[in-house]
Amino acid sequence: MKNKISKMLMATSLCLFLSSPIVLASGDGHSDHKAHEHDNAQDEKNAGLIVKQAWTRATVKSANVGGGYLVVENNGQEADRLIAATVDFAERAEIHEMKLVDDVMQMRPLPDGIEIPAGGFVALKPGAEHVMFMGLKEPLKEGDVLDVILTFEKAGDVPVKFKVNKLAAKGHGEHQHNH
């Protein structure tokens, strides 16, 4: 059991800190959301979409990927869907999920994105769904704030600031303990 857990943790940190073979080939990943249709009458229906607690982790020099985490609340009348993310501090960003497959954590892109149910919320967090920043141009530095554009199917583009927490951070708060 212990072994299983440490295997999981190892795979998790590999996923987050290394450009590892766990990262599945995702084609050109970037082309889809450019063609995304914008509905001009969208805004009122999805005025209730709230993004909060957006954060990522500082990265070591050798890392070229990072994970982005956030909570999306949908107070609107209709479900929406997070379908893409766009950044300029990395080559591209993808929406990923992590799953335990044969005792090993694996991650893969979610081509249909993540549904945000009407009246509900979704938390993207370590070990689960996340935004993956791929091909970091520079290491992410603790204390920095990163600009990310999240694209929702109905709400369209939503600019979000991601706070860079320390390397070992497990949540969005300031009070992490490192013993």
Q: Is 56 exposed, middle or buried (0-12, 13-18, 19+ CB in 10 A)?
A: buried
Cβ nearer to Cu ion, comparing 1 with 25: 25
In the region spanning residues 19 to 78, those forming contacts with Cu ion, defined by CB under 5 A, are none
Cβ nearer to Cu ion, comparing 126 with 139: 126
Cβ nearer to Cu ion, comparing 120 with 135: 135
Contacts of 27 (CB under 8 A, 6+ apart): none
150 touching Cu ion, by CB under 5 A: no
107 touching Cu ion, by CB under 5 A: yes
Contacts of 76 (CB under 8 A, 6+ apart): 45, 46, 47, 48, 49, 118
Q: Give the shortest CB-96-to-Cu ion separation in angstroms.
A: 3
87 touching Cu ion, by CB under 5 A: no
Cβ nearer to Cu ion, comparing 109 with 156: 109
- Please tell me the distance from the alpha carbon of residue 80 to that of residue 68, in angstroms, as a whole number: 19
Q: Which parts of this chain interact with Cu ion (CB under 5 A)?
A: 96, 107, 132
